[in-house]
Structure 1
Amino acid sequence: MKIAGVLLIIVGVIALIYGGISYTTHKKVIDMGPIQAEKKETHSIPLPPVLGVVAIVGGGALLVFGAKER
């Protein structure tokens, strides 16, 4: 339980710092024999700050209550 709590806290802090996930896709625009052109598109998935806070609080709860059960 302690490991899961620490991991949740780390994920929550990362979510608060970065604020989202971004990725790049490549799309062929022109493909005429030896002539090719690609277009790079950057997409982002925003993560709400509430998600990071919930992960931190949940990880802290796992650390506190997981230690009391033993």
Structure 2
Amino acid sequence: MSIKPLAGLALIALGAAALAWPELSYTKQTHDAKLGPLEFTVKEKDTVRLPVWLGLAAIAGGTVLVWKRKA
């Protein structure tokens, strides 16, 4: 099996995941301070929204790669 169909299947899976979970949340550490024996850390929670068209485009591109045999 060549690499194109495998890449196509991966794109289809990623596109379906983007449609199923359109929001990704992550926590990033922004500030770190030490004052003697005390340590302070500030963590910010951020959310990234994935547009619907991105998931649909990934599925369409993956489908083209899977169906396209030899060029």
Deviates more, 1:29-38 or 1:47-56: 29-38
Q: Could you list the runs of 5+ residues in structure 1 that have no partner in the other structure?
A: none
- Calculate the TM-score normalised by the size of structure 2: 0.77
Q: Is the 8 A contact 1:20 1:46 kept in 2?
A: yes
| Aligned length in residues | 68
SS of 1:45 mapped into structure 2: strand
Structure with higher helix content: 1
SS of 2:68 mapped into structure 1: helix
- 1:2-17 to 2 correspondences below 5 Å: 2-17=5-20
Share of identical aligned residues, percent?
A: 34
Deviation at 1:30, TM superposition (A): 4.7
Q: Which amino acid aligns with 1:45?
A: V
- Calculate the TM-score normalised by the size of structure 1: 0.78
Root mean square deviation of aligned Cα: 1.9
SS of 1:40 mapped into structure 2: strand
Alignment of 1:43 onto 2:59: no
Q: 1:57 aligns with which of 39, 55, 60?
A: 60
Aligned match of 2:31 = 28
